[in-house]
A and B are shown apart, each in its own frame.
Chain A
């Protein structure tokens, strides 16, 4: 497809389980971002990749959260030992260049993965 693809669309995990969320960015996009959107809130920045390099992970809420993009395309966000407070929609976004704020290279968001931890 032409857009950012995220899978699974929905994920239910029992507390303590590990989960892996996948993001397929638009082909050729250099920048990739993960955001977390809790119910009723705006998305919050988690981490940023430029190609395979993770240049910023200041938004990851704890060391249970880990993201990777080993070949500079597909990215995986892994959450270990999930807790109820991890329940949220996890959004992935990609852009052609490192400055996704420009109209020439807008940021494209996926539809997200809704994670529910029971």
Chain B
């Protein structure tokens, strides 16, 4: 089975400083990896996805992530945090279901706090 581990349950940064949310994955084959964001009382939103076409993936709202096979990592970064980035972030791996379709396995989440 595939899995992801988010190394930090909480991250706090100052507005305008870089963001780093860490994720390691475990997979027996080339994985499909994602980052989702969950704002309070809102649905989960896809930030970006690793497709194996490029190891550096750019997403929405200035976020990007780099797939590093040697380190089994897929860390999420943003050069400059904004107050609106405060939310819960989930690293996710996709697994093909026996009956068809893809199942998403979520990490435990990282709560990002952005301070003035």
Q: Which residues of A come within 8 Å of B, CB atoms?
A: 3-4, 31, 33, 35, 40-45, 48, 50, 55-56, 59, 91, 93, 98-101, 103, 106-112
* Interfacial chain A residues near B42, Cβ < 8 Å: 111
Q: Is the interface of A mostly helix, strand, loop or mixed?
A: loop
Q: Which 5 A-B pairs have the closest CB atoms?
A: A55-B99, A42-B106, A109-B43, A109-B44, A98-B101
Q: Are A55 and B106 in contact (CB under 8 A)?
A: no
Q: How far is the CA of A114 from the CA of B115 in the complex (A)?
A: 29
Bound complex: CA of A3 vs CA of B42, how far in Å? 11
Instruction: Check if A42 sits within 8 Å of B98, measured CB to CB.
Output: no
Q: Residues of B contacting A48 with CB < 8 Å?
A: 97, 99, 101, 103
Give every chain B residue within 8 A of A41 (Cβ-Cβ).
108-109
In the complex, whether B17 has a CB less than 8 A from a CB of chain A is no
In the complex, B41 has a CB within 8 A of chain A: yes
- B24 at interface, CB cutoff 8 A: no
Q: How far is the CB of A33 from chain B (nearest CB, A)?
A: 8
From known contacts A41-B108, A42-B108, A106-B46, infer whether A101 and B41 are also in contact, taking CB-CB under 8 Å: no
- Check A101 against B94 for contact (C-beta < 8 Å): yes
Residues on B with beta carbons closer than 8 Å to the beta carbon of A98: 100-102
